[in-house]
Structure 1
């Protein structure tokens, strides 16, 4: 099992490329010639695959924080490329969905010309314009939602970077405290040794004094006797 700092990033990127390849085939390949109902089913699958690809990009963004600084720049470039591809296919899917909705609207509201009803074609045109306006409004809302999602994603990445920096600071502080604790332990041991030697010296000094006193006493006793 590869345990290098870039292994998970490479794995997520490979999964992302597989999703993008499948999405591209469905949106730009033979899938664009499908009938309306088949096309709707394909778009639902594409939407799920885009969500999976988006998740892969989020994982890549998380993993890039643990990559060494010496090679992180090139992985940032690969991440930006992945984000660009994802955004392009999301826009393409929205465009395809809008085109499909317009085609459905046109097919369901085909004009019925009647010589006895001169206002019939104008009414159909009005409904068509209203439907087109609703579709454009929906597309605009989808684009706004996509923009907000991207901004939220950027903010999340920034928060993760800040949290990583704070974690590194906490780890550095903990290491400093550990080193200080070790220094205090060494100093305490040194003081204990000094105190023990001091007591030993006091005992030796007391013994010498006692011996001297005894010698002096013996000498005086011999002289007096």
Structure 2
């Protein structure tokens, strides 16, 4: 691949929401300890309100995890069991929040809370959650587009390389055909040259035998 930029996959998005969820659940339990303690009244009241916020944010994180698992298709099957555990944990946390609110209500610590403040806080949280989902979706889309462009570029390069290899093979095949033709021609010439040499040798041998025969005839005539 050409680019060396980090790629955030769907599973990593799930892990991001999972980390947020675990932190919020841990924060909720810590706040419950503060509410059930003997600290200052205002601190306990604030902790109770923060517990409600933490539970709502944990619920949103859990919903995002469910969405990511569904979008992963068959790859998300391994996370179904984990989601069931988180859902049971979330239900237990909701029960804990209700018990804490009931305790604060019995002690008269929730009477001063303003409904308008809670509505505004809930609206702001929903807006932040929506903005975060949009940002995550935009980031995933941009990264998917970048991956697609890289894949297309790689495929184009591979296609060009295959085309060059094909042309090179055609050239090699042509050179091999030419070389084969030259070798065949040279082989025929060598065979022709060998045949001529043998013919010449036979002719010379016949001439030599004839000359020896003539010499012998002259010698025999001389001695007579």
TM category (shorter chain) comes to 0.3 to 0.5
Specify the structure having the higher radius of gyration (Cα): 2
Higher relative contact order by CA 8 Å / sep ≥ 6: 1 or 2? Answer: 2
State the TM-score, normalizing by the size of structure 2: 0.47
